[in-house]
Amino acid sequence: MILPKRLQAGDTIGVIAPASPPNLENLDQAILFLENLGLQAKVAPNVSKTYGYLAGTDEERLSDFHQMFADPSISGIICAGGGYGTGRIVSSIDFDLINNNPKIFWGYSDITYLHTAIRQKAGLVTFHGPMLCSDVGKETFDEESKKMFRQLFQPETLDYTEEFSPLQTISSGKAEGEIVGGNLSLLVNTLGSAYELDTKGKLLLIEDIGEEPYRIDSFLSQLKLAGKLDEAAGVIVGDFSGSEPKKRDQSLTLEQVLDYYFSGLNKPVLSGFKIGHCLPHFAVPLGTKATLSSETKTLTIEPGVL
């Protein structure tokens, strides 16, 4: 895997919106946050455009994406927001361009599709972390989440312990492997495509938002039938906010669903990680090696930058 270079004071961050139109009212505050980190921001030409539920046409969003990777003055790329749309442009991405111009790429949610494709086609480590308009620019953005950007400025081993949030063991064990994954529904969308998620020997991270237990059940069923759960070395269960069923008396709980799919895997599966659509948001590199242990209830992740 290729590690991108660390950021330094004065570096420029490229801002793109490869999925849905972002909340631009939050962008100024997000840019101020970057400036307080000692960085500059360059907003891609089409970030403010709207094409239905997309932030511009496929061609416009793809152009911004390619432009920021090709621009030698850009040291890192942070997505303005998620939503929907990255799967529409992935087949047109120039992965050789990314491989020849590796740099920090940061986002989550719908950006999961890009994380998976970039890692598997270009071999670049990317970052699953809070985005500028949907997270950073809001008044609710918290100090713990802000601290996660420090990992971009120096190689830093991340240690997730129960000091950050309580963790629950669904299946016991200890395993090492590259972290892969992200938003569960987007991972399922890759199945059967040229960008199908590879979990063999990997630590699989899953998270989602606004999906009731029966929907999460269907996603996990599809991953199971595709062999992705059996192939994984372990599973990191992130945040599933908004997963409460509308009809509680006619639903399984999220815990029951997770137990059904993971308790018998005979490999480490821990839940409760504040990774995903939540605050605080523990940002993690994808593609670096990590160790997950049920005995110590820890996740230790190798640095994501050089």
Parent domain of 128: 12-149
Tokens 């919106």, residue?
17
Q: Give tens-digit pLDDT for 57-88.
A: 999 999 999 999 999 999 999 999 999 999 99
Residue 99 pLDDT: 98
Q: Give tens-digit pLDDT for 150-170.
A: 999 999 999 999 999 999 999
CB atoms near residue 171 (< 10 Å): 19
Under DSSP, is residue 152 helix (H, G, I), strand (E, B) or coil?
helix
Does 272 score more than 90 pLDDT?
Answer: yes
What integer is the mean pLDDT of 22-41?
A: 97
| Inside any domain, residue 246 | yes
**Does 252 share its domain with 126?**
no
**Does 168 share its domain with 69?**
no
Residue 248 pLDDT: 84
Residue 183 pLDDT: 98
Cα dist from 132 to 28, 44, 162, 223, whole Å: 9, 13, 27, 30
| Inside any domain, residue 5 | no
Question: Residues near 149 by Cβ (< 8 Å), separated by ≥ 6?
Answer: 37, 129, 283
* Share above pLDDT 70 across residues of the chain, in percent, rounded to a whole number: 100
Residue 62 pLDDT: 98
**Does 138 share its domain with 167?**
no
Query: pLDDT category, 229, cuts 50, 70, 90?
Result: very high
| Inside any domain, residue 3 | no
- The tokens for 199 are 């979990």
CB atoms near residue 25 (< 10 Å): 10
Does 249 score more than 90 pLDDT?
Answer: no
Indicate yes or no: pTM above 0.75.
Answer: yes
**Does 232 share its domain with 268?**
yes
Rounded to whole angstroms, the Cα distance separating 36 from 48 reads 23
Does 106 score more than 90 pLDDT?
Answer: yes
**Does 59 share its domain with 179?**
no
Residue 71 pLDDT: 98
Q: What residues are labeled active site? A: 109, 207, 277
| Inside any domain, residue 77 | yes
Residue 92 pLDDT: 98
Looking at the structure of the chain, the number of domains it has is 2
What integer is the mean pLDDT of 53-58?
A: 98
Domain boundary among 91, 116, 149: 149
**Using an 8 Å Cβ cutoff, are 112 and 59 in contact?**
no
86-95, 146-155, 243-252: which range is least confident on average?
243-252
